[in-house]
Chain A
Amino acid sequence: MTATSQHGFHPDAESLSAFSEHALGERECDEVLAHLAVCGRCRQVVALAREAADTDDKTAAVPPRKTVVPSAWWKQWRLVWVPTAVVAAFAVASISVYIERADRHGPDIKIAEQNPTPDATPPSTPTPTEQATVEPPAAAAPAPPPAHTTKHERSAAEEPMPAPAPPVVAAQMPAESRAQEPGAPAPGVTDREQFRREAPPMSHSEEQQSRPQLATGLHGSAYSQPASGTGEAEQKQAEEHRQEETETSRMRSFKAKAAPFAGHGANGAPPAGATETVTVTAAPAVEAQPAAPAEPAPMLGFKRVWDVSGLANPIQLPSGLASVSIASRGRLLLAIDKAGALFLSEDRSVTWERITTQWTGRAVEVHRQVAANGGMPTAPAAQNGTTGNSSPDAGAAPPPPVSFELSNDENQTWVSTDGRTWTPK
Chain B
Amino acid sequence: MAPTESAASAAETGTPNGTGTPDCVPNRSLDRALAAELWQGCDAAGWGLTRGEFEQILVDAGTAQNFGLAEDSNATPATTKQQAAFFRSLCVADLALARACASGSERAWEHFIAVYRQPLTRAAIAITSSETLGRDLADQLYAELYGLNVREGQRRCPLLSYRGRGSLMGWLRTTLAQRHVDHYRRTRREEPIEELDAPAPNPLPQMPARELSLLELAIEEAVRSRDAEERYLLAAYYLDEQTLLEIGRVLGVHEATVSRRLHRTTDQIRKQILKNLQRCGMSRRQAQEAMGADSRDLEVNLKKLLQNSQSEAFQEQAAS
Contact = CB atoms under 8 A, between A and B. Distances in A.
A38 B311 contact: yes
Contacts of A211: none
Contacts of B310: 1, 9, 35, 38
Nearest to B317: A9
Contacts of A124: none
B309 A44 contact: no
A52 B173 contact: yes
A10 B250 CA distance: 17
A218 B122 CA distance: 84
A27 interface: yes
A53 B120 CA distance: 10
B170 A47 contact: no
A2 B181 contact: no
Nearest to A20: B250
Interface stretch (B39-47, B191-199, B300-308): B300-308
B246 A47 contact: yes
B224 to A, nearest CB: 11
A1 B166 CA distance: 29
A46 to B, nearest CB: 6
Given A4-B185, A37-B232, A47 B250 contact: yes
Contact of B318 (A9, A37, A49): A9
Interface in A21-35: 21-25, 27-28, 30-31, 33-35
Contacts of B303: 40
Contacts of A23: 89, 165-166
Q: Tell which of B173, B230, B235, B307 has the most Cβ of chain A within 10 Å.
A: B173
A14 B126 contact: no
B228 A53 contact: no
A270 B307 CA distance: 109
Interface string B151-180: 000000000011101110111011111101
B78 to A, nearest CB: 12
Interface string A133-154: 0000000000000000000000
Contacts of A46: 174, 177, 250
A18 to B, nearest CB: 4
B235 A14 contact: no
A49 B173 contact: yes
Given A13-B161, A23-B89, A38-B310, A43 B232 contact: yes
Interface stretch (A54-62, A174-182, A317-325, A414-422): A54-62
B48 interface: no
Contacts of B236: 36, 43, 47
Contacts of B185: 3-4, 41
A48 interface: yes
Contact of A52 (B126, B239, B307): B126
Contacts of A16: 174, 178
A37 B309 contact: yes
B174 A13 contact: yes
A25 B240 CA distance: 26
A50 B249 contact: yes
A7 B182 CA distance: 9
Contacts of A20: 166, 170, 174, 249-250
Nearest to A36: B232
Contacts of A24: 68, 165
Nearest to A41: B181
A21 B166 contact: yes
Contacts of A15: 165
Contacts of B309: 37-38
A49 B308 contact: no
A14 B162 contact: yes
Contact of B161 (A1, A3, A4, A12): A12
A43 B313 CA distance: 17
Given A33-B232, A36-B232, A50-B249, A13 B307 contact: no
Nearest to B185: A4
A11 interface: yes
A157 to B, nearest CB: 90
B228 A34 contact: yes
Contacts of B34: none
20 contacts: A3-B185, A4-B185, A9-B318, A14-B174, A15-B165, A18-B170, A20-B166, A20-B250, A27-B70, A34-B312, A35-B311, A36-B232, A36-B250, A38-B310, A40-B235, A40-B307, A41-B181, A45-B174, A48-B127, A52-B122
Interface of B: 68-70, 89, 119, 122-124, 126-127, 161-163, 165-167, 169-171, 173-178, 180-182, 185, 228-232, 234-236, 239-240, 242, 246, 249-252, 303, 306-315, 317-318
* 8 interchain residue pairs of minimum CB distance: A34-B228, A37-B231, A34-B311, A37-B232, A18-B166, A48-B177, A31-B313, A9-B318
